[in-house]
Structure 1
């Protein structure tokens, strides 16, 4: 009898352990970061128009800094750090994030993460570029946020958390796409070639046209929200890149997934801190800093937004039946609470139960 009870309990606990924590709006989120391009030009490109047809184009979204790496770091730390810098003739390089990141929050709550990095050699590569030659380099650490995290770089976890882009297709096929992930295109496919060619999309557009359908299919399979955004605008009101009639730091941001209405636009104001806030709101994580705490999440954009606006700290009372309205006037339904129940079950002493079972059944359980 004791063995039967123990085995039944073990099976129940194993089912809970294997169940990935569900989110309020999505179960995975993928961030695809491109480089240095203005909203108006990006929105005209065929490959990106195809992605817009699958989701929402945010028409009032802004970058934070004209130093690329600071935008990447801001999304994962909630901090716009002026000390993060790739270096130049007068200022030493500093690509070391030494303070808490969203990865710390995710890990503490049983959530998984990974970076899929194109043209990255793998193996927790440490130099600032690959190949280690500024003329031919395709991968840059300054465009690779996970590689800037000091307590991750060089550790045993590094090789599994920072993968190559080939790992993305493998994880999708196996159904092991993590809860939080980045896709980092190489320096040809991220529109960073704008300085080298009159058409900044000469490489990015055909690559995105080929990969975009895979991203859309992955979003459906994993109940994932995908976000393709740019780090900053090309125009910066300097002599070389005047903004003219366009807004400095206005960048295209395209969102798609089964929870996002298709072929729409949204004019709500967002910036890079909104991505961090959306992740935090989706899984009930504590904000990392003041900027992401004060940011507005993408809750009104989603087809099934929460009742009320958690970003404003003013949710509607439970059972009020209220919904949210996206920027295109589409009414959303009240969010389901099953994900909250799953997460609560895992947090209320689940690890204690596992530890107890290990003592009762030392020859049955192995991790």
Structure 2
């Protein structure tokens, strides 16, 4: 029997002892430096499996920011400048509100009816992208700013300065017991001091999920503050060959927009060494969602699928830059007749206490990678 439990703690996490600053302060001289501000000491260099070449890219990095409308993000000077170095996805949408269900959807193919930011544990027989990657021997890791220890299970963490910078709800893989409760896998959910060690030692994984803290991601601050963090952290790393290799694809995106009364369009940009300069400062109006992250990774490495929304051809378009190279056929949707993705609490599922539905096994189908549906132990 599958079991799950979810304790509602509220959508907004912050510290009662400290208020959010209005101006970004760099925690170290460079993003490749360790810092006492990050709290968690590094556990040394990560060990990865041998490199597995992809059809288009060999490394995928996703960086998530928070709660900002598309136009507001695009108007930010730092993000606007970065846009000239990549492909702006002008019809990219989050899948629901609030934050946490978007995060868990991006790695598990569904948000299972969740409509709150809560302390959630998804049963160990519910699979994630980790299962698909490991089947092909593709290394992965997640880097969480201000997380105190690798694989930390707490709902949040308050720094010695009295501010709560880290929250579990923005750390999607730890929510899945198949990852978070597995000691070996949990050790690959690392902190930013680990990141500094890994990038300096040229031991970064092939698939990475990066979450800034609650200030740097704009959750408790603004896109102006987040832009300053991007300028400090990401912009220099674009010039670091240990991070941004010729085969690296970077997705900079937001979990959701800031307006529940409009559809859930978010600023999303493809960057990295794999993007040819001929495609810099271009736009792509193909309809994408957070499920497209799964489909694109599956398509690139010829992976199987999770049998959830990653096989739903309405919402799983592969990034056209990749699909064009692999010959994958997307559904043709752009900006017209799109599904509403700003609805909260209306989807039945095992994580929706007001509209409960039991956990369902994956649905057998074909995803963008062409491989079989992964059923795991369900």
Distance 1:268 1:131 in 2: 40
Cross-structure match for 1:309: 328
Which of the numbers 66, 70, 79 marks the counterpart of 2:101?
A: 70
1:15-61 CA-partner distances (Å, limit 9, x unpaired): xx974110011111011011111000000111212221211111111
Whole-Å separation in 1 of the counterparts to 2:326 and 2:214: 41
1:175-218 per-residue CA deviation (whole Å, 9 max, x = no partner) reads: 22211111100000111025xxxxx1242121111112234235
Q: TM-score, normalising length from structure 2?
A: 0.68
1:167 equivalenced with 2:182 (yes/no) = no
Whole-angstrom distance in 1 between the partners of 2:78 and 2:123: 33
Give the whole-Å Cα distance in 2 for the aligned partners of 1:48 and 1:95.
34
- For the residues of structure 2 that align with 1:273 and 1:215, how far apart are their CA atoms? 26
Give 3-state SS (helix, strand or coil) of 1:64's partner: coil
1:153 aligns with 2:180: yes
Structure 2, unaligned runs of 5 or more: 1-47, 336-378
- Deviations 1:53-100 (Å, cap 9, x if unpaired)? 21111111111111211111111111131147434xxxxx42435410
Matching residue within 215, 226, 235 for 1:213:
235
SS in structure 2 opposite 1:309? Answer: coil
Deviation string, structure 1 residues 86-121 (Cα, Å, up to 9, x no partner) = 34xxxxx42435410000111111011101110111
Find out whether 1:96 has 2:114 as its counterpart.
no
In structure 2, C-alpha distance between the alignment counterparts of 1:297 and 1:174, rounded to whole Å: 35
Runs of 5+ unmatched residues, structure 1: 1-16, 88-92, 195-199, 238-246, 313-326, 328-367
Aligned residues, how many?
278
Q: In structure 1, how many angstroms separate the alpha carbons of the residues matched to 2:263 and 2:205?
A: 34
**CA 1:126–1:157 in structure 2 vs 1: closer, same or farther (change >3 Å)?**
same
Distance between the aligned counterparts of 2:150 and 2:309, measured in 1? 34
The yes-or-no answer on 1:120 pairing with 2:147 is: yes
Tell me how far apart the structure 2 counterparts of residues 18 and 248 of structure 1 sit (CA, whole Å).
40
- Aligned to 1:225, what secondary structure does the other structure show? strand
Residue 247 of structure 2 is aligned with which of 216, 223, 244? 223
Match of 2:320 in 1: 300
Say which of 43, 50, 74 aligns to 1:43.
74
> Residue 272 of structure 2 corresponds to which residue in structure 1?
257
Runs of 4 or more consecutive aligned structure 1 residues displaced over 4 Å after TM superposition:
none
The structure with the larger Rg is: 1
1:59–1:266 contact (8 Å) kept in structure 2: yes
Q: TM-score, normalised by structure 1?
A: 0.69
Distance 1:179 1:33 in 2: 17
Report the Cα offset of residue 159 of structure 1.
5.0
Distance between the aligned counterparts of 1:230 and 1:283, measured in 2?
Answer: 24
Secondary structure of the equivalent of 2:151?
A: coil
**Distance of aligned partners of 1:140 and 1:112 in 2 relative to their CA distance in 1, 3 Å threshold:** same
In structure 2, the residue corresponding to 1:203 is in which secondary structure? helix
The 3 A distance-change label for structure 1 pair 159 and 70 is closer
**Partner in structure 2 of residue 129 of structure 1:** 156
Question: Are residues 193 and 109 of structure 1, via their aligned partners in 2, closer, same or farther at CA, if it must alter by over 3 Å?
Answer: same
Structure having the higher helix fraction is 1
Contact preservation (8 Å) 1:188, 1:204: yes
Does structure 2 conserve the Cα–Cα contact (< 8 Å) formed by 1:79 and 1:289? no
**Aligned pair partner of 2:215 in 183, 188, 194:** 188
CA-based RMSD = 2.7
Residue 34 of structure 1, aligned match among 43, 53, 65: 65
Question: Relative to structure 1, is the Cα distance of residues 298 and 151 closer, same or farther in structure 2, using a 3 angstrom cutoff?
Answer: closer
Asked whether the equivalents of residues 318 and 330 of structure 2 are also in contact (C-alpha less than 8 Å), the reply is no
How far has the Cα of 1:221 moved from its partner?
2.1
Secondary structure of the 2:67 match is: coil
The secondary structure found in structure 2 opposite 1:147 is helix
Structure 2 CA distance for partners of 1:18 and 1:101, relative to 1, 3 Å: closer
* Equivalent residues of 2:93, 2:264 under 8 A apart: yes
